[in-house]
Amino acid sequence: MSDSPMKSHVFAVLDEPYCVWEHPEDNNNLEFLNGIDPAYFSFVAERMRSTEASAEEDRRAATALRSTYHHALETFFSLVGALVQAPTCVYGWLAQCSTPTLRTLVEQISENRFSSPNVVQGAPVTWETISAVVHGRMDVSEPERARVISGFADLWARSALLFLRRENIDEYNSLKHGFRVHAGGFQLSMDVAANEQVGAPTTKFDLGGSKYGSRYLLIERIGGTAKSNRSFIPRRHYVNWSAEQTSLLLVLLSASIRNVVTFLKLLNGGGDQTNSACPTDDEFQAPWGHTVGVVRMDLARKIPDWAVSATTRQNLDEHLATIGFKRATGK
């Protein structure tokens, strides 16, 4: 490849190698990075938290806020993956990284077991070492640099847990694929009787809740767990979240994206780190002061396996044929 008149970028996405060629006079990577607008996410956070909105507008704004938050998580961790494995060809790495692959990368970094090809030298790839790389050239005092590195590392570790949480994945998929959600959270409480007698006095225990959240339908297999079984039933899922926490996290993610992009620009011959964001300790901790108690719940009618039939593709093709459905055939 060194004999070619073209410039090449060789990198891996996890353990899969790729090569992107470009003209030696081009800097497509810097052009791509200059097109990223990290402030978009903080802009949405600010605009979606209006105190003058009606109840219906408030629910819509909260849904837009939540969708943007999931988008920011995916954007940030994608940029981190590119920084770790392909800082000179970010656009190429992003094009080859699927969402499941990205979640695997985030999980491996969180568990300190990332061993794929990377550019982080001399230390394990952790959120702390990544933050040290991103913020290591900031023109601030050593104590301030250490504070910023630690603050972002903690934020990214916590954000990774949220990014990998099953209910958050399902919620994001429901939001971005046609908004298949109902806006609004739920409250959960229970009454505990003083004794077993009918009419005994009860004590109510509040388990928490929120007016903000999502409700969506998923399907799960019934009649057997084998992948060949194509029988499913619906299950309704409920997720609670704090709009205040989501908004505050979105602002911090916007700052995170800004700092990563600034560092990547520096590596690729453009910009400097004078505009890097340095949140205060209070700003780093503020999101975690907002809790909703119970976070998730799912409900479904109790249907025993014997009440339905496990089905295979052949079963269903035969059934579709009997009711007049036919497969299209090419000429």
Confidence check: pLDDT of 88 > 80 = yes
Lowest mean pLDDT among 49-53, 58-62, 165-169, 248-252: 49-53
> For the chain, what are the domain ranges?
7-322
**CB atoms < 10 A from the CB of 297, how many?**
17
Task: Determine the Cα–Cα distance for residues 57 and 47; give it in Å rounded to an integer.
Answer: 12
If one compares 303 and 164, the residue with the highest pLDDT of the two is 164
Supply the pLDDT for residue 115.
94
Encode pLDDT of 61-74 as tens digits.
Answer: 888 999 999 999 99
For 115-139, the DSSP string reads -SS-S--SS---HHHHHHHHHTT-S
- E-only strand ranges, 210-290: 213-221, 232-240
CA separation for the pair 224, 305 (Å, rounded): 8
Q: Is pLDDT above 60 for 327?
A: yes
- Residue 262 phi/psi, 5-degree rounding, is -60, -45
- According to the model, what pLDDT value does residue 155 have? 98
- The pLDDT of residue 113 is 96
